[in-house]
Structure 1
Amino acid sequence: MKKESVSLFTDLFIKQEPISQVYSNIELSDGQGNNLVDHSNTSDKNKNIYSFSHVPDHLKINVFDSESLTERIFPTVKGHAIRLDDYSSADAYLRHQNKKQRENINRARRRLETCFDIQYKLFHHQIEETEYQFLMDRLRSMIVQRFEQRGQKSSTLAIWDKVYATSFDLINQGKASLFVVYDKDLPIAFSFNYIYDRLLFGYISSYDLDYGKFSLGQIVIYKLLEWCMDNQFIQYDMGWGDLDYKKWWCNTSYRFNHHFYYPKYSIPGFLYAQFKGNRSRILAFLIAKGVNTQVNKIKRKLKGQPMKPHLGPQHRFKDVDSSQTEAMEEIKVHHEQLSVSKKVINDFLFTTQEHSDDVSLYYSAAKNQYILKGKKKTKSILFNPTNH
């Protein structure tokens, strides 16, 4: 007996055939939107076993042939979302949800835009293939860099080929979007999202670690929330993962379920659903209790991997008089093989609120000293451990 496996909330547009063989209708819970199931190419229904994981309980779902199919539903992980019904703007939502975080995000956004020439762009309904390839390759490199820093494996990279192969068409069809933050022409933060009628599902996001102090992840969420409000969306969904930032951003939570369908009286179908469904339920319970985090720590310890993220060389800044740079060699800040990392320079910008175009880097070989000079501040870079 053939088995069809679908992760519903990420495969909804990618695997329409097996979905349309079981479901006659999938729509948002308010019942006022469009059917998300395409029946134009539906083949004859057969006697498959169907496994639909990551099915949010807030979707309204109807089964084609409930009399001939057995349905089994197992609760799994928790999801988080922002309901937008009662708010006129992202700022109004944050004012109601978390006043302190609203102030922090607005401060972070102002600082980012003060220090760099920032542009925000959302690709939806139109993107050129060469631009798509460039942006997705850049996003992938950020994910790799981030998880190398953490010393962890990325679940996103495991399914990257599928996402990369399908998302170009979905963006141009209006079924997905790619939000990008640029520093001039350089992409520094991303969010790839699926669009289900009037629901935005934030699926994959990352940012350039060189801009780590600028709260790019929070700014991306804020800008996407703005876009949702401007386009009359009813929900911005952050999916699974019981993370702190989701808890304080979101005003509602829900349950993902694992649905199984198989022909009535099918012993293989019953056994498959029992095994896979209970496995999903147990894993979700263990995740909720933090057991997976502890297991990962033990695995890393046994493999001799560092328990803390690899942050690279540390540094701090010390105020100096700008006149010290007069006898020093000036180094081009935007040179590709810069001796001082871009992260150090960006940290200086964050601290001083200078603009990137107004900063110069100086070096003294005699003192083995680097100094960063802006319009308002001049600081020496002290590297650990020798200069500490």
Structure 2
Amino acid sequence: MIHKLFFNKNSHLIFDLFLNKTISSLYNGKVSNALTQRNYTTKNLIDSDFKSIYITKDIPNYFTFTPKDANTKFKEVLQYNGYLLNLSGYTNATDFINSTLNKRNRKNLNSKTNRLHENHNISSQVFFGSIDKQEYDRIFEDFYKLLNARFKKKKMYNRYLPNWNDLQASTFQKIQDRNASLHVIYDNSNPIAITLNFHLNDIVFSHIQTYDMNYSKYNMGDISMVHHIEWLINNHISIFDLSMGKTYYKEKWSNHTYHFFYHIFYNKRSIISRLSARVIALELKLLQFLRNKNIIGKLFMFDKLIYTYKSKVVKQ
């Protein structure tokens, strides 16, 4: 891909913002949320000085960002959909579930939840603001094992597993500082569903979630979601962002679909820079066209190809 091969100056805004409270220095640091009318200020900016091309990826369109320099030029390119739960106006989980899920899904959810609690000793806990380091390390060890096993079964590459030690090292303090949380469902003392979320005021970003495949028959993702909604509403959270990636699960639970954009910054004084921005924009539009036609993401899945390639390399 042209923009990855030749233009490596880029940032993923949604991950920078939620995980590290940073955005590109090409923006003025002020962020507006169109859904909740809240404004945020990010003090930590990523140095994004550029001479030719700089690409800001994965910008949710419910956020508004203003370039620091009014004369800075960029092309805005529409990409994939994102999914979120807008919890504004709901006072309890039951009201949200009744307004979002159809009768059949609600009946199935209640049945699976009842069976899970009848057959197992289920409890749950949210770690937000404090967590014992020993328990934290134990949860992350189980987290890795469950996530690794699930993606091995799916025969898909997971981008988080290779850098798991870095994620584990950086997240502990973020939980203490209330910038991240771990939602854990236990059977006795064993974690069977774990979700890592990151927090930005009235928004919670669902970063990684997994579950024990031995409990697949209970639809653990749905049961975990109910636990999340109850906690989020009780803690006055307005938005639960499930991010990108079209799945049946996200479409079922989301009551708001948004769009991601790319911003391609270019030097308006440079002909090469302007032409490069145009070519990259065309490439990104083509890729999205192929996604819309289910050629990329269904017929042609990069994560499966990467998994197959890495598996062959390991065997050699």
Change over 3 Å in CA distance of 1:101–1:293 after alignment to 2: same
Question: Distance in 2 between the 1:300 and 1:256 partners?
Answer: 23
In structure 2, the CA distance between the partners of 1:266 and 1:132, relative to structure 1 (3 Å rule), is farther
Q: Alpha-carbon deviation of 1:54?
A: 1.0
Give the alignment's TM-score, normalised by structure 1: 0.69
What count of residue pairs does the alignment treat as equivalent?
Answer: 302
Q: 1:267 to 1:187 in 2, by over 3 A?
A: farther
Query: Helix, strand or coil: the match of 1:12?
Result: helix
The answer on 1:285 being equivalent to 2:285 is no
Does the 8 Å CA contact 1:260/1:273 hold for their aligned counterparts?
yes
Name the SS for the 2:85 alignment partner: strand
Q: Which residue of 2 aligns with 1:373?
A: none
Aligned to 1:63: 67
Distance 2:275 2:19 in 1: 27
Q: Which has the larger radius of gyration?
A: 1
Q: Does residue 28 of the first structure (1) align with residue 28 of the second (2)?
A: no
1:208 aligns with 2:248: no
1:173-322 counterparts in 2 under 5 A?
Answer: 173-267=177-271, 269-296=273-300
Q: Which amino acid aligns with 1:184?
A: N
Aligned-pair identity (%)? 25
Structure 1 pair 150–261 and aligned structure 2 pair: CA distance change class (3 A): same
Displacement after TM superposition at 1:214 (Å): 1.5
Mapping 1:40-119, distance limit 5 Å: 49-67=53-71, 69-98=72-101, 99-119=103-123
Query: What is the deviation of 1:250?
Result: 1.2
Pair 13,241 (structure 1): closer, same or farther in 2 beyond 3 Å = closer
* Unaligned segments of structure 1, at least 5 residues: 306-388
Q: Deviation digits for residues 346-388 of structure 1, max 9, x if unmatched?
A: xxxxxxxxxxxxxxxxxxxxxxxxxxxxxxxxxxxxxxxxxxx
Instruction: Give the residue type in structure 2 aligned to 1:132.
Output: Y
Q: CA deviation at 1:120?
A: 0.9
Distance 2:301 2:56 in 1: 31
Q: 1:185 to 1:294 in 2, by over 3 A?
A: closer
Aligned AA (1:9): I
* Secondary structure of the corresponding residue to residue 269 of structure 2: coil
RMSD of aligned C-alpha atoms? 3.2
Q: CA deviation at 1:218?
A: 0.7
Aligned mates of 2:249, 2:202 — CA distance in 1: 23
Q: Are the structure 2 counterparts of residues 5 and 163 from structure 1 closer, same or farther at C-alpha, using a change threshold of 3 Å?
A: farther
Name the structure 2 match of 1:133: 137
Match of 2:42 in 1: 37
Partner amino acid for 1:212? Answer: S
Alpha carbons of structure 1 residues 87 and 186: separation in structure 2 relative to 1, 3 Å:
same
Render the CA deviation track for 1:228-271: whole Å, top value 9, x for unaligned.
Answer: 11112222111111111211211111100111224432445434
- Mapped contact 2:185–2:194 kept (Cα < 8 A): yes
| Cα separation, 1, equivalents of 2:23 and 2:275 | 20
Relative to structure 1, the CA distance from residue 297 to residue 60 in structure 2 (aligned partners, 3 Å threshold; closer, same or farther) is closer
- Aligned residue for 2:124? 120
How far did 1:281 drift? 3.0
Rounded Cα–Cα distance in structure 1 between residues aligned with 2:201 and 2:286: 32
Alignment deviations for residues 50-98 of structure 1 (CA, whole Å, 9 cap, x no partner): 322111001122221122x112111111111121123221111111222
CA distance in 1, matches of 2:265, 2:302: 37
2:16 corresponding residue in structure 1: 11
- Mapped contact 1:25–1:63 kept (Cα < 8 A): no
Greater RCO (Cα-Cα under 8 Å, separation 6 or more): 2
Q: Which runs of 5+ in 2 are unaligned?
A: 1-5, 310-316
1:73 is paired with a residue of what secondary structure? strand
Q: Aligned partners of 1:6 and 1:304: how far apart in 2?
A: 27
CA–CA distance in structure 2, aligned partners of residues 25 and 255 of structure 1: 20
Q: CA separation in 1, counterparts of 2:228 and 2:177?
A: 19
Shift of 1:300: 7.5
Asked if 2 retains the 8 angstrom alpha-carbon contact of 1:74 and 1:258, the reply is yes
Superposition deviation, residue 145 in structure 1: 0.7
Q: Is the 8 A contact 1:19 1:37 kept in 2?
A: no
